[in-house]
Structure 1
Amino acid sequence: MENLCEFEATVVTGFEKVAAEEVKEKFDVDSIVERGCIQFTIPVSKAKEVVLDLQSIDNVFIIINHFRDFKFANTTIDNCQQFKELIPNIDWKRAIELWSLFHSFPHPIDHNPAPGWEERIKIKPPLDYRCSDEDNKSFDKTKPKFRGTCFRAAYKMKHNFQSTDLQKFFGGGIHDYFNWNVDLKNFDIDCVLFVQDDHVYVGVGVTKSSLHKRHLIAFTSTSLRSTIGYNMCRLCHIQPGEVVCDPMCGGGSIPIEACLNWQENIHLCGDIDEKLLSKSLTNLENAGVIHKMSIHKWDVTALPLKDNFVDVFVTDMPFGKRSGSKRNNWELYPKALTEMARVCKQESGRACLLTQDKKCMLHTLSKLSHLWKRCQTIGVNVGGLAAAVYFLRRL
């Protein structure tokens, strides 16, 4: 029987099904879709490909143990202590083996507990305990640095503890068990505790920073996550040979993802702001796709393109928050969508538009219902803002 590995990957809320489709396409396995994440199991031999191949996901964790139907205690302190005493029941040998597929450490990492762990792990610190420099005075360079992280969600039941409480006890328990070095920022191993209602599971982090930062080195105040750009392109089902255009490219997140992942296409992008175009050029060059992109300074309301030329428009519209204003959007949106309709191929053309100004967008689509058909609307979380992605077809 082939050795399998279970993953949990975080996804921008709203794009979970899109990410599950990517996993199905690339690994031929089904995913469990949860709010803000997907879970899937693949052979260990393909584990490295998760980070290399999947473009729709932000952070990746390897799941080691599940504790279902967890019985909680009546008090906060007793619950926290329960999670601390759970640590010896975790398969740390497997955790370290799987972690080592993605990361390295100059010394062998012993999965066996340090002497005296039984007594240390039973000590119940106060809830207001804070880690201090004293805890790391015995720094041992032969042992890894770690941090304990907790993600908690209570959908069907109430918890009498906070994520921060569990994080302290869980991390403190690991320190008691292994005598590993504590480092919350420059850690080697991220040990993660997940609590979803009464389902408790434990994993280790694969990614040390979110994959949405890939390719971008020149940021703007409205830089779009690369993972959002990819998911928007994926919604369009881009076919080989089609012309793909981002008419308001900003820092270039969408054009970069389009160029890298749909290489048999013609790619165009542009913006009216020269400063943003400069950032876009820097990012396109950094991603190694500058030679594949035709980039222009233009006005989205007067594109220098012939009628029925573009197959797919994908763009991040001004929200009217950090860029532009909501008052201006009422003039910009109708003009922009009318011009995109002129340039977009009739019947087969598509557009995928992101905006937080949903009221203005819906009014515009109602006004231009003879040009565009709204096929799908996906609510997404963009930097804490409740935005929406609109997938349209040209009539």
Structure 2
Amino acid sequence: FIYAHSWVKQRHALIRILRSEVHMSTEERGGSGPDPGAGVTIGATVPTGFEPTAAEEVGEKIGAEARIGKDRGRIYFRIGADKLPLVHRLRSVDNLFVVVAEYNNYQFKESKEETLLDLQKLASQLPWTIALEVWKMNNALKKKRGRRRGGNSSVLTPKGDVSKEGDTEADSPRPEDEEGRDEDGGGCAPAERDAADKPLKFRVTCNRAGDKHSFTSNDAARDFGGAVQEFFQWKADMTKFDIEVLLNIHNQELVVGIALTEESLHRRNITHFGPTTLRSTLAYGMLRLCRPQISDVIVDPMCGTGAIPVEGAIEWQQSFFIAGDNNDMAVNRTVNNTNHILKRRQEGGSSAPGLRMDTARWDLCRLPLRASSVDIIVTDMPFGKRMGSRKKNWDLYPSCLREMARVCRPATGKAVLLTQDKKCFAKALSRMGGLWRRSHTVWVNVGGLHAAVYVLKRTGWVHGAAAEDGAEGRGEGEEEELL
């Protein structure tokens, strides 16, 4: 009893010390926090390998300069509060969070106990106020319907003040695609206002990478979360939480943030899933690599559930997309996913035109398309894992590459192909007789598999022969493309 009483006194003393340090500047701690005058820093997780593509989209749609994080799959950019709605229009990001503070060279102690004690102290030293305000603004942008979690609208600030009622809704937003997005905001429901005095429910999620840490992710989340709970007097709840605090650690980099998305944004379009459904964010990244232009004809010859053409038809409305597959179930899934988008538009009262997209059932090696009639080919090729087999790929890949070359426009056509069977693909490409030239390769992680996105350019050669006059004089060993 005496030992327990002494431990409680020491704990309360530590809490008083932590709260007395809350006014320490972030610069004194070696970190950087949001500055109200310069806006806030937003972090986003993206498919690994597509960080430059996502950064390019941020600059194009928001006008902000994004930097790629040291940890793969993350980008960061600063925005003003007025541009928060634009953030949810990004198509290449999976999850969004507002950065509370960032430490590029955090000094972790060698002892596990000392490190965890430092993380406990850190909880009260962070500039939470601005990030919590952004979190409240973000909640006001979410759709009123489709709420998945309950909660209340009170936000307890580090000073102990409760924010005004009706400023926010309890859940994180569920941003939909641009056809179904409701950005009118709105106040809280009566039930939320009645629960205004209840503390928020929260959880801490720790993502850690690096082998020189003396602690585990669970250790960090537990101790940091306990300090956050003591500081804000929030209630911990691992499932039905109102707010999610993120603790991202990569070697010596430490980033504390607050989640702005309830679930990954890659689930935005697909309702009828297949055995190998491609993430919408990955589909968008692949499409962006080929830079579609007005009036381009874009084909996905192995469409599966239609993730690529559906995503493309929504974003690039001045191009025309053709989806096809040799499997009846895959074609039906693509049609159902397309109909779902159109139905959601209609229910939302949108005046947007229908999708410029068509779906067909065909044989990949005998496409019912005229020669040189397609501008871009984008597809997810069978890995030989869940679909097809590695053995069949040795016959399939050369046949489909040759047929793609036939329908693709010489000298200007492009192909963006995703596969995990890299050895088979490289061999098949070498047997094309100069029909395709590999521009570059993007290495990605697809469901834990190390895969590659190959960006190919169609050469001026037609099945090994030159497509332009004067090419007959080339040497037999030369396969220089006529571009």
Runs of 4+ that moved beyond 6 A: none
Q: Give the corresponding residue for 1:14.
A: 49
1:375 maps to 2:439: yes
Q: Deviations over 1:199-245 (max 9, x none)?
A: 32211001111111111111111000001100000000110111011
Q: Secondary structure at the match of 2:139?
A: coil
Between the aligned partners of 1:85 and 1:79, the Cα distance in structure 2 is 10
1:109 maps to 2:165: no
Shift of 1:93: 1.8
**Contact 1:350–1:391 (Cα < 8 Å) also in 2:** yes
**Contact 2:154–2:196 (Cα < 8 Å) also in 1:** no
Shift of 1:149: 1.1
Between the aligned partners of 2:115 and 2:129, the Cα distance in structure 1 is 26
Shift of 1:143: 1.7
Q: Which residue, out of 299, 313, 319, partners 1:245? A: 299
Shift of 1:3: 4.3
Q: Secondary structure at the match of 1:323?
A: coil
* Pairing 1:1-395 to 2, within 5 Å after superposition: 2-34=37-69, 35-51=72-88, 53-103=89-139, 106-112=152-158, 142-154=198-210, 158-288=212-342, 291-395=355-459
Q: Deviations over 1:89-144 (max 9, x none)?
A: 112221210101212564331213669xxxxxxxxxxxxxxxxxxxxxxx997222
Between the aligned partners of 1:192 and 1:364, the Cα distance in structure 2 is 44
**Contact 2:442–2:453 (Cα < 8 Å) also in 1:** yes
Select between 182-191 and 298-307 the one with higher mean Cα deviation.
182-191
Between the aligned partners of 1:141 and 1:15, the Cα distance in structure 2 is 43
Between the aligned partners of 1:264 and 1:290, the Cα distance in structure 2 is 12
Q: Deviations over 1:20-68 (max 9, x none)?
A: 11111112222211321111111111012111x2111111111011245
**Contact 1:244–1:310 (Cα < 8 Å) also in 2:** yes
**Contact 1:140–1:181 (Cα < 8 Å) also in 2:** no
Q: Secondary structure at the match of 2:377?
A: strand
Q: Deviations over 1:142-193 (max 9, x none)?
A: 2221110112233xx7211111210111112212222212222222111111
Between the aligned partners of 1:99 and 1:182, the Cα distance in structure 2 is 18
Kindly indicate whether structure 1 or structure 2 has the higher relative contact order, using CA contacts under 8 Å at least 6 residues apart: 1
**Contact 2:152–2:200 (Cα < 8 Å) also in 1:** no
Between the aligned partners of 1:89 and 1:258, the Cα distance in structure 2 is 45
Between the aligned partners of 1:376 and 1:142, the Cα distance in structure 2 is 54
Corresponding letter in the other structure for 2:156: D
**Contact 1:3–1:44 (Cα < 8 Å) also in 2:** no
Q: Give the corresponding residue for 1:129.
A: none
Between the aligned partners of 2:196 and 2:451, the Cα distance in structure 1 is 47
Corresponding letter in the other structure for 1:47: L
**Larger strand share, 1 or 2:** 1
Corresponding letter in the other structure for 1:167: A
Corresponding letter in the other structure for 2:59: K
Identify if the C-alpha distance between structure 1 residues 285 and 141 changes in structure 2 by more than 3 Å, giving closer, same or farther. Answer: farther
Shift of 1:290: 6.7
Between the aligned partners of 1:59 and 1:253, the Cα distance in structure 2 is 19
Corresponding letter in the other structure for 2:157: H
Corresponding letter in the other structure for 2:416: C
**Contact 2:270–2:337 (Cα < 8 Å) also in 1:** yes
Q: Secondary structure at the match of 2:417?
A: strand
Over alpha carbons, which structure has the higher Rg? 2
Percent of counterpart pairs with the same letter? 40
TM-score normalised to structure 1 length: 0.89
**Contact 2:94–2:265 (Cα < 8 Å) also in 1:** yes
TM-score normalised to structure 2 length: 0.73
**Contact 1:189–1:205 (Cα < 8 Å) also in 2:** yes
RMSD value, Cα? 2.0
Corresponding letter in the other structure for 1:38: I
**Contact 2:437–2:456 (Cα < 8 Å) also in 1:** yes
Between the aligned partners of 2:113 and 2:341, the Cα distance in structure 1 is 49
Corresponding letter in the other structure for 2:126: I
**Contact 1:107–1:143 (Cα < 8 Å) also in 2:** no
Identify if the C-alpha distance between structure 1 residues 373 and 28 changes in structure 2 by more than 3 Å, giving closer, same or farther. Answer: same
Unpaired segments of 5 or more residues in structure 2?
1-35, 141-150, 162-194, 343-352, 460-483
Corresponding letter in the other structure for 2:409: K
Q: Secondary structure at the match of 2:137?
A: coil
Between the aligned partners of 1:296 and 1:149, the Cα distance in structure 2 is 44
**Residues paired across the two proteins, number:** 369
Corresponding letter in the other structure for 2:63: D
Between the aligned partners of 1:71 and 1:325, the Cα distance in structure 2 is 48
Corresponding letter in the other structure for 1:82: D
